[in-house]
Structure 1
Amino acid sequence: MSEASAPHAADRRELTAAQRNAVAELLRVSPVADELGHRFVRAGHELHLVGGSVRDALLGRLGDDLDFCTDAHPDETLRIIKGWAESIWETGREFGTIGAQRDGLRLEITTFRAESYDQVTRNPVVEYGTNLDEDLKRRDFTINAMAVSLPDHRFTDPHGGLDDLSAKVIRTPGTPRESFGDDPLRMLRAARFAAQLRFAVHPDVHTAMSRMAADLDRITAERIRDEFTKLLCGDDPITGLRLLVDTGLAERFLPELTGLKLEIDEHAQHKDVYEHTLTVVENAVSYEEEGCDFILRMAALMHDVGKPATKAAAPDGRVSFHHHEVVGARLTKARMKALRYPKDVTAQVTALVALHLRFYGYGRGEWTDSAVRRYVADAGELLPRLHKLTRSDCTTRNRRKAAQLAADYDALEDRIARIAAEEDLARVRPDLDGNAIMELLGVPPGPVVGRAWKHLKEQRLEHGPLDRDAAEAELLRWARAEGLIA
């Protein structure tokens, strides 16, 4: 070692000692873990804080969920914590996991595992292990393969996880090929941790992800969905998304994202739609007020996926993507359905994709108050997100154009606020309700009432609020035109 590098090495050793002391201190001020450790030791068993809990403790971000492993089997774990835990659940028992709660902390205690996959089916074959080293070796990444024993606080790091944590690198305990062959979802987890922790994947890991991307097809849509959601909600989703595309993983479950690399954005010829989309996602993150807004981020990611199917070149060489928002909404709905997202989440993201172009053209002065009302009514509860998405979609490098778009949207928001102050735009409804319609027309509940209600709503959007007499006169005029009354 050279003299120049010696101080750096000394700093590294001091950092390691500080990190280890941080874990011990976190455990000291959280007596629940030590109490649990004492109970297991008295029963003749081991207990270790493991995985993400140790990683997060070292990073200074330990939350209320703690993960433990033990040589005790589930039945024995239940006997040890009975009467001590405030609540117990056994939903993960078939995988050797018992859950418990104590003093506001959620604890998951899992028997040492030596699970393996047959590399054909999607589910692991669970076998109980016999020691801590064997359990740590089977874990996905070195940064998740560290343990702190309880109650003595002994630190175990057989695969160099602490060094990788300091270097901010994602590496597997064994070879990446073996690790990903056992569980292909780990490839997606690598991208997720890159997004959450702002870490880089080791070159060997990147190579294996690229070569084994097709193995992701063995994994259920639900598991892929959960990992992808965590990735998109990471502190740095752009890094994770780039990794998915560069390794070919995105092609396995979100091919629309990869497809964007082929299309040129008509708003900014200096970059393709893929780069534009990543910038829109980044912009959307900056507009979040508190925590991750998955619906906004997903809409930003999908807003232009309809462009490849709608690309057209004019004789003068200009490229257009007419109605790409309509096609994009359809593709978004189908993709989110395939990934098993809840219907309400899918509907909201799809609506935002469909609406994201509505604003363009406002600056030409063509919008009436009626158009503004329809904009608000169509967005409904999504209006605040639509505001953010539309602003995020402005990625032009032309400062004058960017300033004009921002000013136009400021003007639209001011106009919405003015009209809202005069009318209840948050709940645009007909000026007569169903009961009033039935009474005035003398009809029972049924399709006629629905048609009348829809007509009056259109009048409300077009002309604003009507007083009672004007609303009744309009209803009677419509009914005569429909041949419902003489």
Structure 2
Amino acid sequence: MSQLTVADVQRQVTTELDRIGPVIDSLGELFAAAGFELALVGGPVRDAMLGRQHNDLDFTTSARPDDTERLLREWIRGEKGSGIWDMGRDFGTIGCRRGPWQVEVTTYRSETYDPDSRKPDVDFGDTLAGDLGRRDFTVNAMAVRLPGREVVDLYGGVVDLATGVLRTPGTPEASFSDDPLRMMRAARFAAQLGFSVAPEVVAAMTAMADRISIISAERVRDELVKLICAPHPRLGLTLLVDTGLAALVLPELPALQLERDEHHRHKDVYEHTLTVLEQSIDLEHRLGLEEPDFISRFAALMHDVGKPKTRRFVEGGVVTFHHHDVVGAKITRKRMQALKFSNAEIDAVCQLVEQHLRFHGYGDGDWTDSAVRRYVRDAGDQLSRLHILTRADCTTRNRRKAERLARTYDELETRIERLAEEEELSALRPALNGDQIMALLDLKPGREVGEAYRFLMELRLDEGVLSEEEAAERLRTWWSERVTNQ
């Protein structure tokens, strides 16, 4: 990220405050009239200074939750599409929506962790200065007092924002002791903002990495997802590895730093993986999504995690990693389960990891239409992501080789598109369904119906589309031979 001047920051925050003025001014006046302080705080202030627009606004206040809720209900009264929520009441947070604006107001607070606890103890505070002092980084510890729009920067956040540095308001040791998850947030914000991390913060993260163990898997997972979906995930992942945090939350990543020697040369798997991730991000537009795609990114990050366990040295200084795709899928499943990902997310990522080498058999040019159908069938609803991962997995510096691989995959995609038009590959199924099979062979539901269905599916994959009449005739012949051979 290019550095800003303090003047740039001041100009940009003024522009954004004017844009959101109808919200922040009216809320500020409402809370002030009731005798309470209110300030815009955190990410919206930081991003306003970076020239980024927000319709989700965070505030902090001297009001307690009951008073906050009463005032917010008054603020949204009569507005269409408005509403209140209070899931964060125990932490002092009341939220509401009014038109395009989403607002969360949190009572001044401080939170600390017992050394053996996974949950913070939350205490309400009485001052804005005290609330800002407990925040994670100086760039997030700035506020705008309302309704007067006075910028409050007690810890040099404006300068750190302008120079692109992450620092903590107090000592990093005290900050990370209060909330160890802030160590992962440092990596996440580095990835999101493209910032460097101050040396003293890196040193504290390294010394205190073990403290992350008291944080729940769900909170670790959420930070990891945000990091991987950020614009610069390499920055954050490298920081996690260098500080030792990755060894605790995603140990498969630093394990890719395989030792190398002069006799057994092979590609640096760790650097290769980070490059594949970046190349995968460059291809994400193929999915047609508006948001970053965690599934394809995490599959790129995990696609080679089976290599450390499958590495073998053979004659001639050659290194092999046979079956690392299958082994890697099992390792990935275990890690994602430990991080409490959903079954759907786990299945999608593991499917991509297990199939990421399938294309390389196509390079010999001897794939039949049947093989292409099976490739599509096995990829299922992950085919578009498999296209991305397979293309991203080419990190060779040999331009001719890279161009040859790209042309070969172009050819495969063209064949898939042609077969899809001819045969409706997106709905690969036999010509006869289960009811038709049972009627034709006079069967009741059971194992034999499943065997007949699989026979017809193999015919579909091998030979393409068959008419119902031809499929019925082939099924009768197969069934007759099966009965005879029993």
Q: TM-score, normalised by structure 2?
A: 0.94
Counterpart residue identity of residue 197, structure 1: L
The unaligned stretches of length 5 or more in structure 1 are: 1-10
The SS at the match of 2:74 is coil
Residues 370 and 463 in structure 1, CA contact (< 8 A), matched pair in contact too? yes
Q: Does 1:202 align with 2:198?
A: yes
Deviations 1:196-253 (A, max 9, x none): 0100100100111111111111100000000000000000011111111111111001
Q: How many residues align?
A: 472
The SS at the match of 1:67 is strand
Q: Which residue of 2 aligns with 1:166?
A: 162
Counterpart residue identity of residue 323, structure 1: H
Alignment of 1:112-131 (within 5 A): 112-131=108-127
Q: Which residue of 2 aligns with 1:347?
A: 347
Residue 361 of structure 1: CA displacement? 2.2
Q: Distance in 2 between matches of 1:182 and 1:246?
A: 22
Q: Distance in 1 between matches of 2:420 and 2:206?
A: 52
Residue 114 of structure 1: CA displacement? 2.2
Counterpart residue identity of residue 406, structure 1: A
Q: Does 1:66 align with 2:63?
A: no
Q: Distance in 1 between matches of 2:96 and 2:417?
A: 49
Residue 468 of structure 1: CA displacement? 2.1
Q: Distance in 1 between matches of 2:384 and 2:467?
A: 30
Q: Which residue of 2 aligns with 1:361?
A: 361
Q: Distance in 2 between matches of 1:317 and 1:13?
A: 56
Q: Which residue of 2 aligns with 1:57?
A: 48
Deviations 1:140-165 (A, max 9, x none): 00000000011110110000101100
Q: 1:22 aligns with which of 15, 35, 38?
A: 15
Q: Does 1:285 align with 2:268?
A: no
Q: Which residue of 2 aligns with 1:455?
A: 455
Deviations 1:240-299 (A, max 9, x none): 11111111111001111000011669xx95641000000000000000114311110000
Alignment of 1:127-142 (within 5 A): 127-142=123-138
The SS at the match of 1:155 is strand
Q: Does 1:36 align with 2:36?
A: no
Residues 40 and 58 in structure 2, CA contact (< 8 A), matched pair in contact too? yes
Flag the 1:244–1:431 CA change in 2: closer, same or farther, 3 A: same
Q: Which residue of 2 aligns with 1:249?
A: 245
Q: Which moved more, 1:436-445 or 1:223-232?
A: 436-445
Deviations 1:18-40 (A, max 9, x none): 24423432332xx1221111110
Flag the 1:20–1:463 CA change in 2: closer, same or farther, 3 A: closer
Residues 9 and 50 in structure 2, CA contact (< 8 A), matched pair in contact too? no
Identity %: 54
Alignment of 1:80-95 (within 5 A): 80-85=71-76, 86-95=82-91
Q: Distance in 2 between matches of 1:269 and 1:245?
A: 23
Q: 2:145 aligns with which of 115, 127, 149?
A: 149
Q: Distance in 2 between matches of 1:151 and 1:144?
A: 20
Q: Which residue of 2 aligns with 1:228?
A: 224
Q: Which residue of 2 aligns with 1:46?
A: 37
Residue 81 of structure 1: CA displacement? 1.8
Q: Distance in 2 between matches of 1:458 and 1:394?
A: 32
Q: Distance in 2 between matches of 1:484 and 1:243?
A: 66
Q: Which residue of 2 aligns with 1:3?
A: none
Q: Which moved more, 1:119-128 or 1:196-205?
A: 119-128
Q: Which residue of 1 aligns with 2:398?
A: 398
Q: Distance in 1 between matches of 2:366 and 2:297?
A: 30
Q: Which residue of 2 aligns with 1:109?
A: 105
Residues 16 and 53 in structure 2, CA contact (< 8 A), matched pair in contact too? no
Deviations 1:362-400 (A, max 9, x none): 121221111000001111111111111100000001111
Residue 484 of structure 1: CA displacement? 8.5
Q: Distance in 1 between matches of 2:485 and 2:97?
A: 67
Q: Which moved more, 1:470-479 or 1:121-130?
A: 470-479
Q: Which moved more, 1:385-394 or 1:398-407?
A: 398-407
Q: Does 1:258 align with 2:251?
A: no
Q: Which residue of 2 aligns with 1:7?
A: none
Counterpart residue identity of residue 415, structure 1: R
Flag the 1:40–1:388 CA change in 2: closer, same or farther, 3 A: same
The unaligned stretches of length 5 or more in structure 2 are: 77-81
Which gives a bigger RCO, structure 1 or 2 (Cα 8 Å, sep 6+)? 2
Q: Which residue of 1 aligns with 2:79?
A: none
